[in-house]
Structure 1
């Protein structure tokens, strides 16, 4: 368990650092530097949301987890499934998270305490069935049952990590400077107060005494309020396999996630039909459609239209694709492959990634008129 808490602490702090720095880049605004292929008439992202108002709020929710898998899930899977299903009202109405929090408030709280409380209020839990050491939550109106381990839920909800584990990343004893940076605030707080208790998952601007589920619910509630009042886009993330293997595509895993997404959409549409009077057209859709693909990308607040005709200025060989290019070769840039590289195609339809600085914009070929 200590190992899992340490890994979760490192991962959560790394994700928060990436999000914080990404949001900081959004807030920098547009740059006055001009690049080849850019258009200086757009300082926003997608010409809808201006730089400075665009922000990443939540990531890493890949739909229902633990479906059709052996064993029981823990608190993180329960929270992820709750967020994916948009059923905070269900859990708050039946008070299951409140029961878990009460068990965590008691230093001697345990799985047995949670089970006893659930049994006492058994009539309130229409979709939650209890067995000796686990609960079965029937998501999506009872259509997708997933089992969760009570012991793991209570332990993870405490959201605490031993001070000795955090002290491993003190700059005096740890040579891994990047990890030291992730735990700097915790180490400083521990040095100032003996009462400070480091958390496994740290959410910014929250009560330090909150449990994990309390922090999570508050963040989800804040996100939903923002979505209701601001323009937003929803990105549907899908796992390529259940074993976290690199570059492995499992068709059954992807198909199951698509099936769950269609199920969620169907249930959402059913709820809309129940709420709206018959004979009236729907004024809006619950699920916002993604915008159509655009023929340009935004870099430094400017549009870069694609495809582009570009010319190589130096010899270059892409190690991944094996494509060799000579200075003077004409290529077609299809899009940005990364922040500093183009995805290009050659006259032979071979594709490669080429650094932007190795190319320059090439004028169209001159038209020859025969007299």
Structure 2
């Protein structure tokens, strides 16, 4: 991240500044990193409801006959089985099975609604155009903004503003009307908390943000807290914890390879990926607990004795854990839970231990879960 200069503007850019946000460059956009402080915003969202502006993300509609089967050549998820209003996390794969992006796919009445990461959305669109049949239409919804309301009070709060949202369960989505404004709302997010993501016309987003922030449970929250929350939730950040050099198995995303796809294959890199599933990867993305107070950041080498066995890909202080935590790739013979390791930070060794992820429990509102 760098200072806010010559960056693209979000529809809510001036709104963020008026609320005291410190703006930084992220994914080519001027985005709010914090308002009153990352620690306070993190804790507020864990306890109440935080409003995040994620309008830098790419929102796409893929449509046309056979669109689900066509997309399945590029992702390892069972897209054809998605019922209308249901979502699936998946991975856009290169020809060799490397991860080009992680994304969310939702079945809608008009096609597949796909949300991709902002930093690579234009590369993703070009890749999809080059690798999907000409009959598949790709509509980039550049006239829409995207908000995420996250936290244990998020759904009860938005349901006062937009009745009926509380009827959704985790990974479900539907069309709602706010007055005469159509909103596509999913019960999903990137914090480990319950919450929703809201796709809204860019020219209506400020009024919606004002209506949500008028609720006493809601405050605007910046990128800094979004990052510390997703790290505690064990959620990877594309371009850091996963990239084209990693496959889904070593990226700790085997869950995204659906049962039918494991049996049938037929997706990019299937031979490599299914072999890694059967034999185990040579390295894997793992959680790391950090001894002491010194944060261990991206790029720090990880050692077992004098031998480097891995590299940190994300790290920082975790407010809800009360200590520094990290993620990183560690060689197979050193990545069992509890394995003692060290990271090198500014020439000093910092003790680590391989830890289970997530670092704090997810609090998703799943269909069929016990109350």
Task: Give the shorter-chain TM-score range.
Answer: under 0.3
> TM-score, normalization: structure 1?
0.24
Q: Which one has the largest radius of gyration? A: 1
Q: Which structure dedicates a bigger proportion of its chain to strand? A: 2
